[in-house]
Copies of this chain bind each other. A is one copy, B any other.
Amino acid sequence: MARQPSRTPFVILGLLTVEPMSGYDVKAAIDRSISQFWSESYGQLYPALKKLHEQGYVTRSEGGSGNRVRHVYAITDAGRRALHQWLTEPVSPRLVRNEMLLKLFFGRHLEREVLLRHLRRELATAEGEARGIGAVVGMLQTTQSEAPDLQYWLLTLDLGRRTAQARAEWARATLDRLSELDPLDC
């Protein structure tokens, strides 16, 4: 994905608007709250934090208990401005790659049974995702009812839920349709 600017710094800045955090915390927050549509690895996070600090977009303070090393980062005004600037820019279109669809596209070369297996797995994944999102929504509404960001978090989860449902319905319909198709050529 060269030439396309990394969005890692902006994810970090966004999460730091909620509260100051360590790199470890940022990773945990991503995995907990936006894993439906985003992920980052330590290999990205720590260098990005270092750079954000050099640029003055975050401050860094020692927060370890005892000898333990712990760097707590907080967003600065300059950081808020950079985040705001990025949020304002139109979403840049990126390549979409769906390996499931790719395999189905060449499905003529697959045994019926294998194809059905792929689809059943897809159905189960989509249903599980929809259920998982529902659970998160319930959890947020009770534990985060005061959070000023709550409405926005719920909006993003709503798209995740709808997409998962659409995928599940498609998988169900496709499983039905496949039973009517001609025998395959391999």
- The residues of A with any CB-CB pair to B shorter than 8 Å are 7, 10-11, 14, 17, 34, 36-39, 80, 83-84, 87-88, 90-92, 94-110, 114, 118, 121-122, 148-149, 151-153, 155-156, 158-160, 162-163, 165-167, 169-170, 173-174, 177, 181-182, 185-186
Contact = CB atoms under 8 A, between A and B. Distances in A.
Main secondary structure of the interface of A (DSSP, over half): helix
How many monomers of this chain does the complex have?
2
Contact of A155 (B96, B104, B158, B162): B104
B156 A162 contact: no
A7 B97 CA distance: 10
B109 A84 contact: yes
A105 B148 contact: no
A58 to B, nearest CB: 16
Q: Please give me the 8 A-B residue pairs with the lowest Cβ-Cβ distance, nearest first.
A: A166-B166, A37-B98, A14-B106, A107-B152, A37-B101, A39-B95, A162-B166, A159-B170
User: Which among A99, A118, A167 has the greatest number of chain B C-beta atoms within 10 A?
Assistant: A99
A118 B89 CA distance: 9
Given A106-B17, A106-B83, A167 B163 contact: yes
Given A108-B152, A169-B162, A87 B103 contact: yes
Contacts of A149: 105-106, 108
A99 B94 contact: yes
